Amino acid sequence: MDVGASLTWTSPALPYLTSENSTIPLSNAQGALLAASSSISGIIALLMCPLIMDQIGRKYTILVLGFIQLLSKICIYVAHNYTFLFILRLLVGVGTTGMIAFLALYIGEIAAENIRGRFLILNKICVNLGSFLMAIAGAFLPYNPMNIVAITIPLIAMLLFPIMEETPYYYLMKGQEKEATETLTKLSGEKSVEIVTANIERMKSAILEGQNSKKSSFRELFSDRSSRRALIIKMIKKFLATVVHP
């Protein structure tokens, strides 16, 4: 929901910020750049998060992203100049893009196969709910109360998310099979030791296959014709979404 609210924030905020009543007067060009800033900085998150998620875990990576979101929203509430606001929106881009990419990974690693799709769909529904909530807040509330609503969403998430479990995949990557087994048993509610053990072995095989293919995956992004085309299409799509419809 915080991702959706963050992506929609500029729609209700820019009419105020570019108006005569704004405490941070912006030109139309500055407003457009402010709207596009989060898409630009999202590249940083996509480069940064893979480096830290295997070091500190999926759960704590999401908590770091959530803290970035919460801190940036609080600072936006007290921001009084364009430069500071622009930097904060860059931080928001890091948090939202990282969350879009790696919350889905987290869900995929903790959810059983028969319900994984439902959680991923619910994830997308929550993004839309967050967008709707921010649009409603912007329509009926002044600028500062609207920002308080924006702060509330990541605050609730940060208070609740620590009760979540780390993923069994991460524990297995670190050689902590006992913790992985305990976590998988708790997440699945499965009481059969044989079934849990079989799932653990399947995860270990998947991790081993991933490690064997990791060395060539980045090179194949450019050398493989289909992957290269997909990369070009994705870059064009992102460019158009940023420039044409900031």
pLDDT in tens, 46-74: 777 777 888 888 999 999 999 999 999 99
pLDDT for position 131: 93
Q: What is the pTM of this model?
A: 0.80
pLDDT for position 135: 94
pLDDT for position 246: 45
Question: For residue range 4-33, what is the model confidence (pLDDT) as tens digits?
Answer: 999 999 999 999 998 888 888 888 888 888
76 falls in which pLDDT band (50, 70, 90)?
Answer: very high
pLDDT for position 213: 56
215 falls in which pLDDT band (50, 70, 90)?
Answer: low
210 falls in which pLDDT band (50, 70, 90)?
Answer: low
How confident is the prediction for the chain on average, in pLDDT? Answer: 85
Tokens (6 digits) for 236: 């064009």
All domains of the chain in start order, with CATH: 1-164 (1.20.1250.20), 165-246 (no CATH)
